[in-house]
Structure 1
Amino acid sequence: MPDLDRKLIEILEILANSKEPVGAKVIARELNKKGYKIGERAVRYHLKILDSLGLTKKLGYSGRIITEKGLEELEKANISYRLGSIYSNILEKTISSNYRFGYVVINRAKIYADFDVAVETIRKVFSAGLVVGNRVGLIDRGNYSEILTLCSLNFDNILLQNGIMPIHICGGIVKFEDNQPVEFKEIIEYKSTSIDPLLAFLEKKETDVLGVIENGEGYVPANFRVIAKEYLPKFEEILKLEDLKCVISYGEENVLGLDIGNDYIGIALIGGLTPIAPFIEMGYYYEIVPMSSIVRLESLTKFKKENREIINKKSKIRIKNSLSKMLNLITKVDFDIDEDVGNVIANVGYTDKKYYNDVLELLKEAYKKNLGIGDRLKVVEEKDKLKIYTICALTLDGIFINNSIPILPKYGGVIECLEDKKRFINIIGYSGSSLDPHEIFFNMVDCETTFLAGFRETHRISREKLDFVLKKLKWNGVLDIGEPNNELYGINVGKDMFGIVYLGGINPLSWLNEHEIPIEIKAMKEVVRYEELIDYREL
């Protein structure tokens, strides 16, 4: 099945957001609102295409519904288009809600925990003041508890209604010490990701909200905005009157480690998904839909909340993005493609020594399946742990640059490889994340049809030199090379540039993870000598 174009994706979104079958007339009207000048006849033509692909189903004269296959495709299709979907949804919900008149944006979660446990856990989060507002929806669904939490976008709506334009920057995790926010530990910019930043951090289990509740130390989901500096007096007046009480820090120049320059005020807000984090930390199964819908505020239940002190002191910490870390690490690579010696960048995985035999056999399997960069790695014992080194794809960047090929790392993500199609289904831009994207997506691949991968681009004039280096290198790792000015695996390139898809160097460790070997990973962790690594066949 070919990747869907934008109109087809928009039609699927319209159907997915409707609880009833939708006809061509309504779809045409909604598409015109989105800027697609298309009539009913053309819509019917597109619907037939979607029907033939099994993505939609016609229900007589009532209209179409989206199928399960359609919902799955909507989450994967056209990655370049979806890259802006998170930011677009933020703006749409901010504008569409109306906190003043009681229409609020909510996050929706299914938590597979007893209802009494759900209520008591939510009560603890409210008592610690780690929520947006003082209302929540709690519904006993029998085999699960449904929880509706207020989204921090409601605060943005308050700002907008008071003539202040908030600029949405990123979502992240804030470190707390002595019950106060200290710094952002990690961030992902909204415009640089196809996955909701806070959801990504929750799924990676980066939070420790329970730690903050119990002893004042831990990690809390948070969002970050900036406003023009001239708005500061009006903003501080709003803080005195608004009742969401979700601002944890604000200030000039640097807020919790994020540099904002001299013309803005930075604002850190408690993430609306924070009340859900403790359930994930306790190991409960969950399903989460961030920014799910707009509901009446009065439909939610009031809970007693302890308001927190707002911290507005400057931070000495500065958060660096992955790209800057990568570009600095690349300078350490001095591998000689003629002599097969030199420094390479390694990812590191740690697991318990009791898995030694299983680890060796699984690593051999992984490299036989061409999941690694090159064919060398290293396994050493450190006390009760095994330390596993795999070559990082960043090494390829260093080798190319040392051979006068200017390679620019763009995205890390997940590729889906089927018989008729290879494509990225999730990506995060290196310049918009402080954490290596492959650490975020580590648990989202099976190394059978989905794999960790990276996307680079370089100028078309470099192609001949690139082919020469790859021929001499003879390493596994480069999956595909595109044509100038053409997309590759669904990702667009700049003018006169061509794309290169790398296999992620962490994939052998993902293979261990898929076979239930508990493993802790650190991407781009160390510089090692290539000659100290061994061929996987000799493990």
Structure 2
Amino acid sequence: MKQETDLKMMEILRILKSEDKVLGAKYISNELRKRGYSLGERAVRYHMRILDEKGFTEKIGHKGRIITQEGIKELNNGLIFDQVDFSYSRFQEKMYNISLDISTAKGLIIANISSINQLDAKDTIESVFEHGLAVSKNISYTKEDDVDFIKTVCGTTIDGVFQKNGIISRPSYGGLVKVEDYAPVEFVEQIAYKKTSITPLEAFSGKGNTSILDVISSGDGIIPANFRTIPMTKQDQAKKILANLNKIGIGGLIKMGQPGESVLGINVPEGMVGVSIIGGITPLCAAQEDGYDLNIKLADEFVNYESMSSLEYNVKPILSNANKEAKNVSFVLEKIFNLMSQVTFDYNTFEGDIITNISYVDKQNLDEALEIINKLYKDYPQYFMGDKYALVDDNDGKVGIATICSLTVDGILTNNGIVSIPIYSGVLDIDNRQPRFIELISYTGSSVDPHEIFLKKDMCDIATGNGSDKILASVHSVPYVARDDALDIFDTIGDAGFNFLDIGKPNEYIYNSKIDMYHFGYATAGGLNPIEKVKESDVCVDVKSIEKIMDFKYFETF
């Protein structure tokens, strides 16, 4: 019941934020009804009084309530299970509200918004447009509260135009495409739009992920892109729409396949056509590559297309149509299942192979790195998956620090006839309140361990000393009928140094992460937390997750 109440209050906050004005109980009640919540005015007022007490809303006389900054923060970080489902729904809602009229080049489009500290980045950004590595020729520069913003057309605008014209367009993945000799080859990283709290392209928008400027200069590199499928019966109509969009300065098509044909390594179902569009954030990522500081937000607001400025733009990217052989996209869960199947750790003898993360530091930095890790373990042992580590020699002047990967537990349970599946990887916020996930990415549909994404985007703060830490953690699911046997194993491997953040009851949420019916969940700290602390301490480290199988006997206690 509490979770249902929380959902209603989150929806009230969402309504207040979207309207951005004082709203009364009657208006909110009507909006809730449209969204599937039957809540009368009296019940709305009751819920809003609770929100007032929490500081998430403020009563403005007899007119109603407004959302506070704390309320906006709660909306962004609160019920993460709601945010995971809402992320995909938000895209569908934005697609529906697009009103762009191709014949007049007027109407609402979806825009990506980025704050920028140095406006001289415009030269880099606009050079990307000149080479057609953008969704549209239109761009907007604005200034608010002494902060400069850049708005670019989001690729989801094309999905919305398809939808307005009766074409079912299903965004499936966002990720990174490898380009060789100006020809797009294959997706090398991708995340599914469903079951993630962070939009896929935003996950890959951090520094070091793309090499767009290299594509422009040499024809080889990595660019952001997204992928959707449409029915094959609508392929000809889709081609005509894309051609008409070209006429008003909207392009960005990387590749459209044939029915049932894989596109850039992504398999396409029978009767469907795969379509890849360049990411609308591509010009902004190029500016990051060039050393400029941007804060990129995807699909953030609606903008009238006709109000934007036009740049020199090639609707056909410099990318060629050459068909290069692409490897089928592999997903991290496939790698995980194979590693889990190699775990031989015996929970009775504490002997056997486990899954490890191995991160490399220069030999001269090893003592400093270990000192940082040992201090962290002394002060915050709960941030560790286990109390052990191992050193691995490398021939390149580096030493590998191996830590226990939480997937080892899934492997141990599996070897004992208990199905244990890792379902989410996330960032766990630990402050004076109950710990809760503020970001989650499903292992399903991801080609990369989500923890690596969170580390690259600097989303963690470990052992800050201010009572508010953000650590890596993961959520695993087990059928509830096996709970008693699983608990016995958990107790035993605890003596071997394995740690658990939380073990839930059947159908109980784990730190705001939703568990399937007839299952229970358990949460573990990320094995990379000590490595992240080394990284935060300005020691250069090459982070590698779920790297290899190692014998437990080589590990020593911190």
Query: Shared fold (TM-score greater than 0.5)?
Result: yes
Q: Residue 103 of structure 1: which of 100, 105, 108 is its match?
A: 108
Moved more, 158-167 or 182-191: 158-167
Moved more, 228-237 or 260-269: 228-237
1:487 paired residue number: 509
Q: Which runs of 5+ in 2 are unaligned?
A: 464-468
Q: Deviations over 1:3-53 (max 9, x none)?
A: 771111111112222343333333223222222222333222221111100
Residues 1:294 and 2:302 aligned together: yes
Whole-angstrom CA distance in 2 between matches of 1:18 and 1:289: 20
Q: Is residue 415–residue 452 contact of structure 1 (8 Å, CA) maintained in 2? A: yes
Whole-angstrom CA distance in 1 between matches of 2:280 and 2:112: 7
Shift of 1:420: 3.9
1:333 paired residue number: 343
Taking a change above 3 Å as real, the CA distance of residues 418 and 363 of structure 1, as seen in their structure-2 partners, is same
Whole-angstrom CA distance in 2 between matches of 1:142 and 1:478: 45
> In percent, how many aligned pairs have the same letter?
35
Whole-angstrom CA distance in 2 between matches of 1:104 and 1:472: 57
Taking a change above 3 Å as real, the CA distance of residues 246 and 359 of structure 1, as seen in their structure-2 partners, is same
Whole-angstrom CA distance in 2 between matches of 1:288 and 1:67: 23
Residues 1:464 and 2:484 aligned together: yes
- Aligned ranges for residues 190-229 of structure 1 at < 5 Å? 190-203=193-206, 205-229=208-232
2:452 paired residue number: 439
1:282 paired residue number: 290
- Aligned ranges for residues 70-469 of structure 1 at < 5 Å? 70-100=71-101, 101-113=106-118, 115=119, 117-139=120-142, 144-203=147-206, 205-243=208-246, 244-252=250-258, 253-306=261-314, 307-308=316-317, 311=321, 313=323, 315-368=325-378, 369-370=380-381, 371-380=383-392, 382=394, 383-442=396-455, 443-448=458-463, 449-469=469-489
Shift of 1:373: 2.4
Whole-angstrom CA distance in 2 between matches of 1:472 and 1:41: 52
SS class of match (1:294): strand
Q: Is residue 251–residue 313 contact of structure 1 (8 Å, CA) maintained in 2? A: no
Kindly provide the amino acid, as one letter, of the partner of residue 482 in structure 2: S
Shift of 1:134: 0.9
Whole-angstrom CA distance in 1 between matches of 2:534 and 2:274: 41
Kindly provide the amino acid, as one letter, of the partner of residue 255 in structure 1: V
Taking a change above 3 Å as real, the CA distance of residues 36 and 470 of structure 1, as seen in their structure-2 partners, is closer
2:466 paired residue number: none
Whole-angstrom CA distance in 1 between matches of 2:123 and 2:207: 24
Residues 1:500 and 2:522 aligned together: yes
Shift of 1:204: 6.2
What is the TM-score of this pair, normalised by structure 2? 0.91
Moved more, 205-214 or 119-128: 205-214
RMSD after superposition: 2.1
Kindly provide the amino acid, as one letter, of the partner of residue 53 in structure 2: S
Moved more, 285-294 or 78-87: 285-294
Kindly provide the amino acid, as one letter, of the partner of residue 534 in structure 1: E
Q: Is residue 350–residue 520 contact of structure 1 (8 Å, CA) maintained in 2? A: yes
Whole-angstrom CA distance in 1 between matches of 2:339 and 2:434: 33
Shift of 1:62: 4.5
Kindly provide the amino acid, as one letter, of the partner of residue 73 in structure 1: E
Taking a change above 3 Å as real, the CA distance of residues 332 and 27 of structure 1, as seen in their structure-2 partners, is same
Taking a change above 3 Å as real, the CA distance of residues 175 and 41 of structure 1, as seen in their structure-2 partners, is same
What is the TM-score of this pair, normalised by structure 1? 0.94
SS class of match (1:118): helix
Kindly provide the amino acid, as one letter, of the partner of residue 151 in structure 2: L
Kindly provide the amino acid, as one letter, of the partner of residue 376 in structure 1: K
Q: Is residue 361–residue 398 contact of structure 2 (8 Å, CA) maintained in 1? A: yes
Q: Is residue 255–residue 314 contact of structure 1 (8 Å, CA) maintained in 2? A: no
Q: Is residue 363–residue 512 contact of structure 1 (8 Å, CA) maintained in 2? A: yes
Kindly provide the amino acid, as one letter, of the partner of residue 470 in structure 2: T
Q: Is residue 250–residue 312 contact of structure 1 (8 Å, CA) maintained in 2? A: no
Taking a change above 3 Å as real, the CA distance of residues 310 and 19 of structure 1, as seen in their structure-2 partners, is farther
Q: Is residue 183–residue 322 contact of structure 2 (8 Å, CA) maintained in 1? A: no
Kindly provide the amino acid, as one letter, of the partner of residue 221 in structure 1: P
Q: Which runs of 5+ in 1 are unaligned?
A: none
1:530 paired residue number: 552
Whole-angstrom CA distance in 1 between matches of 2:282 and 2:241: 23
Q: Deviations over 1:109-168 (max 9, x none)?
A: 10111x2x1321221110121111110002356954310000112111221233211011
Q: Is residue 205–residue 296 contact of structure 2 (8 Å, CA) maintained in 1? A: no
Kindly provide the amino acid, as one letter, of the partner of residue 246 in structure 1: G
Q: Is residue 124–residue 290 contact of structure 2 (8 Å, CA) maintained in 1? A: no
SS class of match (1:293): strand
Q: Which has the higher strand share?
A: 1
Q: Is residue 21–residue 62 contact of structure 1 (8 Å, CA) maintained in 2? A: yes
